[in-house]
């Protein structure tokens, strides 16, 4: 049985939180697929051992972006600890609001695991504004419309209209914007 150290350990590290974080991270990545209690095949209970190790890692070193990114992906893809992945991604997005790869991964999790189109649209839009490929903005606009978030959809589509050079593409975007305004 694996036991993750409690978060309170951070009070005992005498300024060596970053170094301890690295140690806990190395321990976590050795057993990324470990789950102490599966709900079904490959679906782990929420707040698993891996979640606790990753959470401790980012608590001890909040600037360890790789732990948010790879930790969140490991939780969502390898052991399907959806609640744990949500917590790690949310912490990472709060800390790194302009790292498009992290935002994109968090958006993926929001869309496919949490089934939250509004949240995914906002995260994809943040990723697009932080350097993600242009098509990510299109995905954000469509998700915002589909998720019923008219304000975000209109903001995304208007931004695309304002920055697009191709007149035919602008015409299509304006049509899409009008459709989103008419949608209930």
Residue 154 pLDDT: 87
SS3 40: strand
Are 117 and 145 a contacting pair, CB within 8 Å? no
Longest dimension (CA), the chain: 62
**What DSSP letter does each residue of 89-150 carry, written as one string?**
HHHHHHH-TT-HHHHHHHHHIIIIIS--HHHHHHHHHHHHTTT--THHHHHHHHHHHHTT-H
- Cα 62 vs. chain centroid, distance in angstroms? 16
Q: Kindly report, residue by residue over 126-168, the tens digit of the pLDDT.
A: 999 999 998 898 888 888 888 888 888 888 888 888 988 888 8
Residue 41 pLDDT: 81
**CA atoms of 81 and 156, how far apart (whole Å):** 31
Residue 17 pLDDT: 95
Residue 184 pLDDT: 60
Phi-psi map region of 131: left, alpha, beta (phi>0 left; psi -120 to 50 alpha): left
Question: Which are the contacts of 133, defined by CB distance < 8 A and separation ≥ 6?
Answer: none
Residue 82 pLDDT: 94
Q: Kindly report, residue by residue over 57-102, the tens digit of the pLDDT.
A: 999 999 999 999 999 999 999 999 999 999 999 999 999 999 999 9
Q: Can you tell me the mean pLDDT for 27-48? A: 89
Number of other CB atoms surrounding residue 59 within 10 Å? 17
Q: Kindly report, residue by residue over 20-37, the tens digit of the pLDDT.
A: 999 999 999 999 989 888
Residue 6 pLDDT: 95
Q: Kindly report, residue by residue over 96-134, the tens digit of the pLDDT.
A: 999 999 999 999 999 999 999 999 999 999 999 999 998
Are 121 and 153 a contacting pair, CB within 8 Å? yes
CA 15 vs CA 52, 60, 166: distances in Å: 21, 10, 55
Residue 118 pLDDT: 92
């Amino acid at each position: 049985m694996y036991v993750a150290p409690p978060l309170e350990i951070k009070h005992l590290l005498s300024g060596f939180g970053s170094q301890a974080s690295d140690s806990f991270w190395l321990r976590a990545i050795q057993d990324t697929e470990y789950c102490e209690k599966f709900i079904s095949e490959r679906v782990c209970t929420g707040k698993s051992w891996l979640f606790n190790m990753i959470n401790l890692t980012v608590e001890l070193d909040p600037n360890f972006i790789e732990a948010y990114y790879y930790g969140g992906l490991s939780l969502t893809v390898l052991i399907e600890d959806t609640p744990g992945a949500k917590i790690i991604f949310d912490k990472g997005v709060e800390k790194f609001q302009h790292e498009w790869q992290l935002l994109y991964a968090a958006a993926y999790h929001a869309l496919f695991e949490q089934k939250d189109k509004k949240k995914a649209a906002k995260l994809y839009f943040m990723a697009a504004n932080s350097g993600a490929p242009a098509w990510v903005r299109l995905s954000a606009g469509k998700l915002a419309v589909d998720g019923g978030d008219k304000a975000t959809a209109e903001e995304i589509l208007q931004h695309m209209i304002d920055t697009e050079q191709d007149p035919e593409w602008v015409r299509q975007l304006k049509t899409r914007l009008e459709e989103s305004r008419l949608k209930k």
